Amino acid sequence: MLIKLTGGKVYDPANGIDGKQQDIYIQDGRIVNKPGLDVQIDQEYNLKGKVVMSGAIDMHTHIGGGKGNIARTLLPEDHRADPVARTAITRSGCGHAMPSTFVTGYRYAEMGYTAGFEPAVLPVNARQAHMEMGDIPILDKGGYVMLGSDDYLLRLLTAKKDQKAVNDYVAWTLNAAKAIGVKVVNAGGINAFKFNQRKLDLDEKNAHYEVTPRQILQTLATAVKELGIPHPLHVHGCNLGVPGNVETTLDTIQGIGGLPMHLTHIQFHSYGTEGDFKFSSGAARIAEAVNKHKNITIDVGQVLFGQTVTASGDNMRQHANHKLANPNKWVCMDIECDAGCGVVPFKYRDQNFVNALQWAIGLETFLLVDDPWRIFLTTDHPNGAPFTSYPHLIRLLMDKSFRNEMLATLHPEAQKMTTLASINREYTLNEIAIMTRAGAAKLIGLEDRGGLGAGNWGDITVYTENADRQLMFEKPDYVFKNGELVVKDGKVVKVTWGTTHIVKPDWDTAIEKDLQKYFDRYLTMKLGNFKISDDEITEDGRGSLTAHPLRNGV
């Protein structure tokens, strides 16, 4: 099957193409070079006047795992307001803040996304994350495995085991949980909460272990680098949501000493303490630090107004935030000497000073960071807003007058506390394509996604150019997944199943002997039953695993 996409205006930053009219050929799922004149084209799409990008990749979205399912269970009223009926080809379900798995896949695809990565896979809950993601159609997926509050690691560090032991454990866990990256959430803080610590600063010791968050971050960032894992250590910092946490975040950037590090939903970690309400924007200082430190990447975690639910591994901070729950119901869990979770519904309101300033801080961050290859478009779905609000967010970034019109309607004190109105930058289509495609694929280490060069998989989205960028990005004309047309005119026309992206770093088998003893003595599961086998992903006949190469020839 040879498909030709003819005459579209192509934005393919992975190959340095910025809005050039050119044809794309897809054969057997992958993009190929222009074939010889004698080769027959089986199907041709006339894309003259259309915008062509590769399929979008959400590098941080909570789409699989226990806390998401708690969030679903907690909010039946939210689902009732957005029922989704079955069709001849799609399953029924529900939408809004935390959609059902099937609807998650359909709605992402209908916005032109072809991959999503779950950033908080607890090793002990990884099975569930994969099972839920296994029920998300069309999209490719993958997960970052959460470490840093697990007792095994903290015991290694307290016992002053060497970096190699940590590397072996990290590699073992990545394999056991079938993940593509490593995430830290409130380094050591989830663990400290179990010892009744209610806050944990970067240099504060765990009440039980002789370990600080800074040490955990350095050790894990080193492990990720030394193992050759392409995705840098993915960090949800200390003190989420706390006024003044901009200092912690700057210290975290400084303190990592040049190691690759990704700071996620940085908006929630960019707060100062100035002004009458002792809450101010730290975005300019954060952006300056990010611009300066080339080892740092960030995603924003933009807040958009309305009802949503926050679901996080950070039960220490979620417990502190429970008084803000709206509606007033919430869940916190301590989990298996591994991690924890907290689920707190939130309603972000434009007439609330803090919420309005959070909105502005996110946008300031987007607009003040120079390099679109190191910043990524997220709302930390569903924590800042549901992923379905991305087209609106893109319009805010690309349309200064629209942005300023919205700003003018917000809480007046918040307007005074942001420089947003004076920022003239408007994102270009090429920059959007970098943030949501080429850059994301590069960051995660997907070597054959996120670009439109020959050899890439045929994940392609086609839009109709529209000055209203929200309308443009809401409803692509066509979406191809692995070369198959899955969405036409913004509606799913075919349901396919994506792959699960993983890395498989090697480890010294000696670590398993020690782990076996630890599991038998302290945990509630046998080591052999903990490890996820390949057939658990593939046995349903739809799932598959795609292992990506490691860096530095490791």
- What are the residues binding other proteins (CB under 8 A)? 66, 68-69, 72-76, 79-80, 83-86, 91-94, 98-102, 122, 124-125, 127-128, 131-132, 135, 151, 193-196, 208, 319, 325, 328-338, 343, 521-526, 528-529, 532-533, 535-536, 539-540
- Establish whether the linkage from the previous residue to 505 is cis, with ω within 30° of 0: no
Tell me the closest approach of the beta carbon of residue 538 to other proteins, in angstroms: 12
Of residues 31 and 154, the one with the C-beta less far from other proteins:
154
* Rounded Cα–Cα distance for residues 524 and 541 (Å): 31
Q: Write the DSSP symbol of residue 135.
A: T
Tokens for 476? Answer: 């692509």
Of residues 122 and 184, the one with the C-beta less far from other proteins:
122
Reported residue count of the chain is: 554
SS3 214: helix
Tell me the closest approach of the beta carbon of residue 536 to other proteins, in angstroms: 7
CA distances to 319, 328, 330 from 323, rounded to whole Å, are 8, 8, 9
Of residues 523 and 550, the one with the C-beta less far from other proteins:
523
Of residues 191 and 365, the one with the C-beta less far from other proteins:
191
Tell me the closest approach of the beta carbon of residue 142 to other proteins, in angstroms: 18
Strands (E), 1-131: 2-12, 17-27, 30-32, 43-46, 50-54, 56-58, 83-84, 93-94, 113-121
Q: What is the DSSP string of 478-542?
A: EEEETTEEEEETTEE-------EEEE-----THHHHHHHHHHHHH-SS-HHHHSPPHHHHHTTSS
Tell me the closest approach of the beta carbon of residue 185 to other proteins, in angstroms: 16
Of residues 3 and 94, the one with the C-beta less far from other proteins:
94
Residue with tokens 């782990």: 515
Tell me the closest approach of the beta carbon of residue 351 to other proteins, in angstroms: 26
Of residues 213 and 340, the one with the C-beta less far from other proteins:
340
Tell me the closest approach of the beta carbon of residue 425 to other proteins, in angstroms: 39
Of residues 320 and 356, the one with the C-beta less far from other proteins:
320
**Cα-Cα-Cα-Cα dihedral sign, residues 182, 186, 187, 189:** negative
Region for residue 49 given its phi and psi (left: phi exceeds 0; alpha: psi -120 to 50; beta: otherwise): left
Of residues 167 and 315, the one with the C-beta less far from other proteins:
315
Tell me the closest approach of the beta carbon of residue 335 to other proteins, in angstroms: 5
Tell me the closest approach of the beta carbon of residue 326 to other proteins, in angstroms: 12
Tell me the closest approach of the beta carbon of residue 484 to other proteins, in angstroms: 22
How many other C-beta atoms can be found within 10 angstroms of the C-beta atom of residue 268? Answer: 28
In the chain, how long is the greatest CA-to-CA distance? 73
* Rounded Cα–Cα distance for residues 28 and 484 (Å): 9
Of residues 37 and 88, the one with the C-beta less far from other proteins:
88
